[in-house]
Each structure stands twice: as structure tokens, then as C-alpha cells.
Chains A and B, each alone.
Chain A
């Protein structure tokens, strides 16, 4: 039976290095995925994932156990990723903030096209590497705060309550940001599928 996170954290506090290694091995894949989703660069994502674990180790005494360990590590990952993006953005003069007061236009999203073409089961949709990359590209166009929330929801399957705790925002904001992020991804994927369909028809069920 796998040891739970809090027991491992307690062992790390007593100096047990192997307990920390077990935590790293447990979360490395998902932490990397979240960082990759945020940064869209494999090398940077790996560095950020390592940095996140190092911070976790360094500040483990600050972790009180009020929230779950995994929400804490994802919060650290998202924050480091945002820092990297800001550094990158400021050097390129990119604007990363998102104005939530702007209403999303659902008419642009070509509602229903994605579900019709791909179905709800991605395994059946013959997802290709190209499509996976397109999703990454679509996510890159989603504002950072919305991207973080979408990634944590889709990769980790976090509940709205955990998302609220992880990102320090009200549950209502979680709901709103997820909705906007999804509409954006949907729109970009539809554009890709329309283009792809006109070329070869691939992507339809």
C-alpha cells in the first residue's frame, strides 16, 4: 500500500531523504505537465519542475498540512511558471494579463463542431501528435491565470475547492476562468480542425 503524502512529509522533516524522493517520483510527471502547459517549452518545464521540488524541500517546514500537499506543490509550480513567463514576457515586451471584464463571444467558438468532429472519447478520435501540439499552441494563447486553472483541472483533475485553495481565488472566479479558458481552447481547436478537414479530412469520426 502506498504511503500517503503527509506521512512522507513527516519523514522528510526527520531527515529521511528517501521519503522526499518518493514524493518527487509521485508528482514529477504531473508537475512537469503543468509547467509544460504553462511554458510550452520542454527544457524550461523540466527546470521549473525541478525548481518546484527544490522549493518544496526548502520550505517544507512552512507546510502546515491544512491543505493537501499536492495543492501546495502545484501552487508553487504555477507561481514559478508565472515568474518565468513574466521574465520571458518582459524581455519580449509581451502582455500576459487578461481582462476578465471582457465578455467572451461564444458565437466565435463554433459551438458543437469540436464534439461532432472528435466525439467525447479522445481515444476514438485518433489523436495525433500534431493535434496534441495544436492543443499546446491553443493553451499558449490562453491568458496565464486561465491556463493555470485549466491545466490543474485537466491534468490533475482538481476540484473547484482545491483550485480555489491552490490559486487563492474564490470558487466563483474558478468557475468563470475555467469557462473562458475552455471557450478559447475550443475556438482554436475548431479553427485547426476546419483547416485540417479542408486539407485531408483527418480528425473526423
Chain B
């Protein structure tokens, strides 16, 4: 070694390249390499080898297919099946950890759908008033005074009502009396009309 200081500074060249020296040490090394070409060349060599080593490993790692690596590791570390409750707890916890946004979106969509479904059910469940309704409940049946028929209400097994109109003999008599009193012609088809009803 021509430069006697080189022996002192040589061990510091590698940490100098790695940026591991104190500011004072770094300044001292920089002064030394400015004066000693061989040390400067050594630093250049270290830097070149360092860069090449890093790049060569990146190239070699690129050649390796890591697509299944993690799955292979997971297959070897997966523990025996946990109890159902623990698995459920874990699944819920994982969902909240990894899919919080998705969960919020799905929850919001489910709420919206539930509201819409509720509204549809409510609307479809509402009865139409009057004769437009599919079912009309028979509250009472009445006839006009002097009608020649009388109603008979029957109920089916399903709860529907059937109203039969039955000829009423007493009513006929009353009508005839009334007609006679008014001096009108007797009615010919009174019983037929009642049947029509």
C-alpha cells in the first residue's frame, strides 16, 4: 500500500458505501478518497458489485412463479377446524376487517330493497273499497215492501256468501191487493221476475 492512511480507512470504505458512518467519519473518508485514487476505485467497485448483486437477485426472483406460493404455505399452516361458533365469529370479524366497504354497500342495498318490498306488500295488501274489492262482506239483506221474493243467505265452506232469492207467496197476495186497490191489471210475470233476480 503506497498510502499509509489507506490501512486506517480501508475498513470504513464498506460502511461508507452503505451510509453507515457518522457525519465526522464520512467527512474523513471523503477527504481520504479524494487524496487516494486506489481507495476511490475501491469505493466504486463496492458500489458496482452492490448494484449488480441486488439486480441479479431481482432477476432470479422474477424467474420464480410466486402465484401459488402463499397458498402452498397456507395449506401447510391451516389449523384443524375450529368449533362452529369460533369459525362464525372469525368470519364475521374478517368480513368487518377486510370487506367493510362492501359490507356497508350490501347492507345499504339490503335495507333499500327491504323498504321497497315492504312498500309493495303494504300496497298490495290494501283492500279496494266497494264493489271493486274481490270480496264483499254481506252485512245485511233487506227487501222492499211488497217484494215477491225473499232472500236466503247461505255461507260456503270458504266463507263466501250465496244469496238465494226465493218466491214469497204472502208478498204476491199483498201486491195483488195493492193492484186491486189501485185498479191496475194483474201482473202476469211477477214470479218470473223474482226468478230473474
A155 near B54 with CB under 8 A, answer yes
Query: Which residues of A (131-153) have their CB < 8 Å from a CB of B?
Result: 131-133, 135-136, 139, 150-151, 153
Closest-CB distance, B65 to chain A (whole angstroms): 10
Residue A127 contacts which of B55, B66, B97 (CB distance < 8 angstroms)?
Answer: B55
Check if A129 is an interface residue, CB within 8 A of chain B.
yes
Given contacts A32-B61, A36-B60, A112-B45, contact A120 B69 (CB under 8 A): no
Interface residues on A, range: 35 or more
Q: Which residue of A lies closest to B46 (CB)?
A: A182
Residue B73 contacts which of A53, A116, A122, A178 (CB distance < 8 angstroms)?
Answer: A53
In the bound complex, what is the Cα–Cα distance between A120 and B70 (angstroms)? 35
In the bound complex, residues from chain B placing their C-beta under 8 Å from that of A25 are 70
In the bound complex, what is the Cα–Cα distance between A132 and B58 (angstroms)? 10
**How many A-B contacts if CB must be within 8 Å?**
157
B48 near A118 with CB under 8 A, answer yes
In the bound complex, residues from chain A placing their C-beta under 8 Å from that of B76 are 50, 54
Given contacts A120-B48, A160-B18, contact A20 B56 (CB under 8 A): no
Given contacts A29-B61, A50-B76, A114-B45, contact A16 B90 (CB under 8 A): yes
Main secondary structure of the interface of A (DSSP, over half): helix
Q: Which residue of A lies closest to B37 (CB)?
A: A112
Q: Which stretch of B8-16, B105-113, B125-133, B145-153 is in the interface?
A: B8-16
Known contacts A33-B57, A114-B48, A178-B15, then 7 further A-B pairs from the complex at CB < 8 Å, ordered by chain A residue? A29-B66, A36-B57, A57-B73, A112-B44, A127-B56, A132-B56, A155-B54
In the bound complex, residues from chain A placing their C-beta under 8 Å from that of B13 are 179
Check if A77 is an interface residue, CB within 8 A of chain B.
no
A175 near B44 with CB under 8 A, answer no
In the bound complex, residues from chain B placing their C-beta under 8 Å from that of A175 are 11, 14-15, 20
Closest-CB distance, B95 to chain A (whole angstroms): 11
Check if B119 is an interface residue, CB within 8 A of chain A.
no
Q: Which 10 A-B pairs have the closest CB atoms?
A: A112-B41, A115-B44, A132-B56, A122-B51, A179-B14, A135-B56, A114-B45, A57-B77, A154-B53, A24-B70
In the bound complex, residues from chain A placing their C-beta under 8 Å from that of B74 are 17, 20-21, 24
Closest-CB distance, B99 to chain A (whole angstroms): 11
B69 near A24 with CB under 8 A, answer yes
In the bound complex, residues from chain A placing their C-beta under 8 Å from that of B66 are 28-29, 32
Query: Which residues of B (145-169) have their CB < 8 Å from a CB of A?
Result: none
Main secondary structure of the interface of B (DSSP, over half): helix
Interface residues on B, range: 35 or more
A132 near B10 with CB under 8 A, answer no
Q: Which residue of B lies closest to A185 (CB)?
A: B49
Check if B78 is an interface residue, CB within 8 A of chain A.
yes
In the bound complex, residues from chain B placing their C-beta under 8 Å from that of A21 are 70, 73-74
In the bound complex, residues from chain B placing their C-beta under 8 Å from that of A160 are 15, 18, 20
In the bound complex, residues from chain A placing their C-beta under 8 Å from that of B46 are 182, 186
B70 near A116 with CB under 8 A, answer no
In the bound complex, what is the Cα–Cα distance between A17 and B97 (angstroms)? 12
27 contacts between A and B (CB under 8 A): A11-B97, A15-B86, A18-B94, A18-B98, A20-B74, A24-B73, A28-B70, A28-B73, A33-B57, A50-B69, A106-B10, A111-B41, A114-B48, A115-B48, A116-B44, A118-B52, A121-B51, A129-B59, A132-B55, A151-B57, A154-B54, A155-B57, A160-B18, A175-B20, A179-B10, A179-B13, A185-B49
